Amino acid sequence: MVTIKPKKQNIANRFRGLLPVVIDVETSGLNPATDGLLEVAAVLLNMDAENNLRVGQCYAYHIEPFVGANLDPESLAITGIDPHSPLRYAMTEQQALHMVFATVKQLLEETGCQRAVLVGHNAWFDLAFIQAAIKRNSSLVSPFHSFTTLDTATLSGVALGETVLARALKAAKISFDVNKAHSAAYDAEKTAELFCHIVNKWRR
């Protein structure tokens, strides 16, 4: 019996011209207008020969809080971030987002997608902080859709019956180290694994 492999699908076709990019941010509070953006991570996604979505490279940056940013002690205690530590080797939010956006724009060209769409766990939160940073830095031009997101909290609630990231990962049988949580890079990579799991399961 001859097995016919499926024709490789372009990621642009899978998401109607949108390029999913997983984003996670760590912040100094919950208000995007007043609280600082302290970390940002972007995980790129690609499709394999069997049309399964796979986790690609992660780009993560530590960020200096903008001048006058509110630094909420409770939020910093949760993340464990010391915004003033020189060991963070932090850059400005303009520099960090410029590098993320440039990477995403290059992938848009390579894949033929028209626009990027932010994938996140409670994605509205990440998008709101990025948009607030863009407002503070008028030179930044975002490659992301201004309001459409792919929210893994909602998707995992439907697909797995769980909305909390750690519980959704457990339901999907994906490892999760609570000691590494609240790192933008780690949370973004785990969110990317969860998103790929749900998308691939749905396709099958």
Nearest-angstrom CA–CA distance, 142 and 161 = 33
Query: Which pair of structure tokens corresponds to residue 132?
Result: 């607030």
Active site residue 197: no
Q: How far is CA 125 from CA 7, 32, 79, in A?
A: 37, 8, 16
**What are the residues facing 70 on neighbouring strands?**
35
CA 120 to chain CA centroid, Å, is 5
**Catalytic entry in 84, 98, 182, 197:** 182
CA 21 to chain CA centroid, Å, is 6
Nearest residue to 23 via CA among 133, 112, 171, 113: 133
Nearest-angstrom CA–CA distance, 36 and 83 = 9
Q: Which residues are catalytic?
A: 182
